[in-house]
Amino acid sequence: MHCSTLKRATSTGLLHDLVTLRLRGEPVAQRDKRGKRSAEVLTWLRASPGGASYSEMYAEFGNAGEKAVARLVASGEVRRPRRGLYVAAQPADPPRPKVAGGVSARTVVTMLVVLSSALDDAAKRGLVVRNVARLVDRPKIEHREMSTWTPAEAATFREHSRADRLHACWLLTLAGLRRSEVLGLRWTDVDLDAGTVAIAQGRVVVQGEGTMTGDPKSHRSRRVLSMPADVVMIALIGSPQVCSPKFLTCEQRSV
């Protein structure tokens, strides 16, 4: 098998294992950062409580073991009580923190989307040959019924918010608009004759940059919604926050 093919297969297999572990909820131990040879030398020394001599260590591991034990001494994991004798500082490793498992399929899919996007960018820059995240089988996301208010609950909320200065905004939210869509709504997006509102942009607060207006959250967010006549009329004449010739609503008089 070609070396690059083997690397891709190994990477894909590791990603499959990660997805499986995260879904099952099994803890995922963090990777040992000592290096393979250093870990082998340390395990060997721990099997000898009295320690081992330099000649014994060299006979077992050769030059690679000599370099590994030097690193272990420098890190404090191996002691040298006298010349030519090496002893493990601790009989075993303390429990390492683990990555919790048991996440939802949606979380795993989101993780793969983010990772795949990063690898796509790396492939464009020539840093990797192929995006192996695209080869991983993504778990099926179970459909869940959305919990919504009943008409009676919505009517109760409408009545409760009637005296609020943002009453029109609350009504638009009940009609299916996100907060950013309510704040980004313009008079040109409102068709009074047809009784519809077109969602074409959103307004959000970006830390350090202030209020910014841009495209909706997603492509599917661009839509036209039918509005009850009373909602349109309240937004038109009955809302104290209608104070801009451009935007339909105000956000602390800054819109």
Q: Give the closest residue to 183 by CA, choosing from 210, 154, 220.
A: 210
pLDDT, tens digit, for every residue of 20-46?
A: 766 666 655 555 566 888 888 999 999
Q: What integer is the mean pLDDT of 90-116?
A: 79
Residue 157 pLDDT? 92
Residue 26 pLDDT? 62
Residue 229 pLDDT? 78
Q: Does 235 have pLDDT greater than 50?
A: yes
Show the domains of the chain with their CATH numbers: 3-28+97-135 (no CATH), 36-88 (1.10.10), 151-238 (1.10.443.10)
Given pLDDT bands bounded at 50, 70 and 90, which one contains residue 9?
very low
Threshold 0.95, pTM exceeds: no
pLDDT, tens digit, for every residue of 77-101?
A: 899 999 989 999 888 877 766 666 6
Per residue in 201-235, is it b (16+ CB within 10 Å) or e — as a string? bbbeeeeeeeeeeeebeeeebeeeeebeeebbebb
Please give the mean pLDDT across all residues of the chain: 80
8-state DSSP, 186: B
Given pLDDT bands bounded at 50, 70 and 90, which one contains residue 12?
low
Residue 97 pLDDT? 62
From CA 203, how far away is CA 182, in angstroms rounded? 8
Q: Give the closest residue to 213 by CA, choosing from 205, 221, 202.
A: 202
